[in-house]
Structure 1
Amino acid sequence: MSHHTSPASPPSLHAWQVILGGISALVLTLGLARFAFTPLLALMQTQAGLSDAAGGWLAAINYMGYMSGALLASWLESPRWRHRLYSLGLCLSLVVTALMGMSDNFWVWALSRYLGGLCGAAGMLLGSGLVLNWLMRSGHRPELGLHFMGIGLGIIVSALGALLMARLPLPWAQQWFGFALFGLIFLISAWAWRPPVPPAQSPAPASTTAASAAADLRKPSRAWTAWMTAIYFCGGWGFVISATFTVTIVERQPLLAGQGPWAWLLVGLAAMPAVFLWDRVARRVGELQALLIAFALQCVSVLVPAASDSLAAALSGALLYGATFIGIVSMTLALVGRRSPSNPGKAMARLTLSYGLAQVCAPALSGAMAQASGNYRAALLLTAFVLALGMAGLWRLIRLERRELHAQQNQLEGASRTR
């Protein structure tokens, strides 16, 4: 494997530094700026007078921030601006985390949650795009499994931080300050090891026209992109339902009341090694086939707690969910980013909008179903059905890709014969 260095990838940065910097950025922008709200929510309700409805609104406002960031990233062409906004997101993550503890005013919290969502998009979409672009230009494997370990680590940091500070015990505002201080550690490595600004696309020399023709043929067709967008919507639905209800399902066990953060920790612990394993599976069976397996297992993670109210069902559902949602996200974003090498972050962001749309629709509908029936069974069964639709889409996409590949080979053979 060649490890050539271009002017834009200085020898001062090694692959392990870029990956570690990216992991630190995800812990900072997702684990602290976004996810810390999950384990601190109950404490803010008892100590700061945050109502159920207001808590729900803050979660929704946080998601609006993330969606705004995804929209901006899907529109942004300039490599320099993508880099600048990513850098801004790293610093802003600490500010918005501390801001939560500075006031008990709902609008201050709302501002923090909205900006926290923007920071999450900067780390997840701009950061991942910059890391993938650097890996591709530096001759390394263009996989994001190791990089996305930062999501699982972010969940673990937010859960362990909350459990540790509750032991001390610190009041809610000081816990937010504690998270902001802790974030400084991750800011140092994320800032020092940022991938440099990618070079602007230069016109290819004549000698590479055959290679660029092959690369153009690998660009996703309209049909491929449409199917992938629909499939990722189904993945987003599966993600948000379990993210919303995993902790609640565990909290409803009489022996586990108040132990919600442990379930959240379990999700993070399952997610950390899983990203790495999914890269291995994708290498062995193919990316779309690996995605199909991940969707099938996520379907099981939803059906297990739907079939049984036992503690074992709730915990095994949480473990399977943590291990699968992360694979679906990392494999899909890496696959789409590789198909758009000039601007991976932009392609990832466009796809994230469909994932996000599901995350807006699903909780509202499922919450209404849970209220009407008194339990989450119907909502979980509906989620399993949506995931099954995603599997059907993947099956269709695998067949479409085989046809497209066959047509491309014929086209390339025809081109080489005419030369």
Structure 2
Amino acid sequence: MVLWQRSANSAILLAGIFALIVGVGVARFVFTSLLPPMLEDSLSISFAGILASINYFGYLSGSIFSVFLKNIHTKVRFFRLGLVICVFSSALLGLTDNGIIWLLSRLIAGFGAAMALVVGSSIVMLKLKSINKTKAMGIHFSGLGFSIVVSDLIVRAAFYYGSSWQDAWLILAFVGAILACYSGYILTFDKQPDQRAEHHGFERSLFTPMVVILIIAYFTEGVGMVVQATFLPDIINSLDGLVGYGGYVWLAVGLAGIPSCIIWMRLADKYDSLTMMMVALALQIVGILIPVFSTNIFMNLLSGMLFGATFIGLVALFMNFAGQQSIKNPVLIMGAITSAYGVGQIVAPLYCVALINYYGNYNAALLLTAVIVACGIVLLAFAKKHHLSHLL
């Protein structure tokens, strides 16, 4: 059966999508789905922000660590370890309410997510053969949208049958374990003697002006995505007349995100990646600002759809474009830009919590976030205008 053949492109892409569901859905984004019931129970908004920030710190650590993985088989081992960490750390949240354990769990979950996304995506890119890799990686990154939808639907099903949010974490860990087994089986390479195994060194020459611009711009996107990725359901529930609609808007994020990667990657293939990045960032700003100026449910559903369609598409655009800067060692540049993304994700929840506590709403945090994302557009426009990509 082709889906069990490690060299089949369809199996490679499916395994990559499953890895993103485990690493990004179960270990990261489902926290957003479960945040409202956890806030209603005993979790404070301040502690929620700290948990989000430390999760992104773990993600940053994993991203930096991935840059220095040289042997291809070592990458596979840490990718598999990351999947195990994602499952184990999620199960812990359903087994205890100890604050210290929660902090440690979210920290290692972030590291595991980086192994699943950064290292896993580089393995997928290296394994794919004889097809347009730009379009194929768009299919792979559609797993980010699936990660939100699948994890959110599992949570909804758990609540429908009377489960608590603790039970939901355990169910998610169980499903994640099944998907992780398939990904770990497919995404590997044939064994070779150590002297023949491919090694990837740290090459400073790869950090061209274009790559530096990408790193800084992806930092602004890290800030841009994390505010809504962490708080969106609660943002919607806090608006007049929209109590209880936050979960539906979050589901709209995932649904819009599934096809977005394929669409953005096709547009990048037809036009150019830098232009598509700028367009996506501009649309994301619109989505960020809608809850500030409107309490209409349809407008806020649009906000969620714009967020899902852009932040997931931007991950695909940045990661693929960065990987192309070093086809032989894509994990190096992917890890570098993702590290900057991680720094943005650490900073954003902290300033958001401070502004929320000071003003009593999300407006100031959303406005500041929109300004930071706009700086990313300016940076990419500068790179395009001065043709920095020609310096590669």
Give the TM-score of the pair, scaled to structure 2. Answer: 0.89
Tell me, in whole angstroms, the C-alpha distance in 2 between the residues paired with 1:54 and 1:381: 23
Greater Cα offset, 318-327 or 163-172: 163-172
Q: Are residue 241 (structure 1) and residue 227 (structure 2) matched? A: yes
Q: Are residue 58 (structure 1) and residue 58 (structure 2) matched? A: no
Q: Are residue 94 (structure 1) and residue 71 (structure 2) matched? A: no
Greater Cα offset, 240-249 or 349-358: 240-249
Indicate the percent of aligned positions where both proteins have the same amino acid.
33
User: 1:383 is matched with which residue?
Assistant: 369
Task: Tell me which amino acid in the other structure corresponds to 1:357.
Answer: V
User: 1:267 is matched with which residue?
Assistant: 253
User: 1:7 is matched with which residue?
Assistant: none
Change (3 A) 1:104 1:381: closer
Q: Are residue 84 (structure 1) and residue 77 (structure 2) matched? A: yes
Matches within 5 A, 1:89-128: 89-128=82-121
Task: Tell me which amino acid in the other structure corresponds to 2:60.
Answer: M
1:18 and 1:195 in contact (8 A); partners too: no
1:131 and 1:195 in contact (8 A); partners too: no
Tell me, in whole angstroms, the C-alpha distance in 1 between the residues paired with 2:167 and 2:269: 45
User: 1:162 is matched with which residue?
Assistant: 155
TM superposition outliers: structure 1 runs of 4+ over 4 Å: 197-203
Matches within 5 A, 1:9-158: 13-47=7-41, 49-135=42-128, 138-143=129-134, 144-158=137-151
Q: In the alignment, which of 168, 172, 191 is matched to residue 175 of structure 1?
A: 168
1:253 and 1:311 in contact (8 A); partners too: no
Task: Give the unaligned 5+ runs of structure 2.
Answer: none
Task: Tell me which amino acid in the other structure corresponds to 1:99.
Answer: L
Tell me, in whole angstroms, the C-alpha distance in 2 between the residues paired with 1:82 and 1:29: 15
User: 1:3 is matched with which residue?
Assistant: none
Tell me, in whole angstroms, the C-alpha distance in 2 between the residues paired with 1:336 and 1:197: 26
Greater Cα offset, 105-114 or 145-154: 105-114
Corresponding pairs, count: 380
Change (3 A) 1:197 1:319: farther
CA deviations over 1:113-160 (Å, ceiling 9, x no partner): 12211110011100001111222xx23222221111111111112211
1:154 and 1:268 in contact (8 A); partners too: yes
1:250 and 1:315 in contact (8 A); partners too: no
Greater Cα offset, 25-34 or 168-177: 168-177
Change (3 A) 1:197 1:57: farther
CA deviations over 1:30-56 (Å, ceiling 9, x no partner): 111222222223333444x33333333
Change (3 A) 1:364 1:404: closer
Instruction: Quote the offset at 1:245 in angstroms.
Output: 3.7
Change (3 A) 1:322 1:284: same
Larger radius of gyration: 1
Q: Are residue 257 (structure 1) and residue 257 (structure 2) matched? A: no
Tell me, in whole angstroms, the C-alpha distance in 2 between the residues paired with 1:339 and 1:390: 19
Q: RMSD of the alignment, in Å?
A: 2.5
Tell me, in whole angstroms, the C-alpha distance in 2 between the residues paired with 1:255 and 1:373: 20
User: 1:282 is matched with which residue?
Assistant: 268
CA deviations over 1:226-280 (Å, ceiling 9, x no partner): 2111111121121112223421221124544234222221111111010110011
Tell me, in whole angstroms, the C-alpha distance in 1 between the residues paired with 2:365 and 2:90: 32
Q: In the alignment, which of 266, 273, 295 is matched to residue 281 of structure 2?
A: 295
Tell me, in whole angstroms, the C-alpha distance in 1 between the residues paired with 2:5 and 2:178: 25
Give the TM-score of the pair, scaled to structure 1. Answer: 0.84
Change (3 A) 1:290 1:220: farther
Change (3 A) 1:391 1:45: closer
Task: Give the unaligned 5+ runs of structure 1.
Answer: 1-9, 204-215, 409-419
Greater Cα offset, 171-180 or 360-369: 360-369
Task: Tell me which amino acid in the other structure corresponds to 2:324.
Answer: R
Tell me, in whole angstroms, the C-alpha distance in 2 between the residues paired with 1:176 and 1:14: 33
Task: Tell me which amino acid in the other structure corresponds to 1:43.
Answer: P
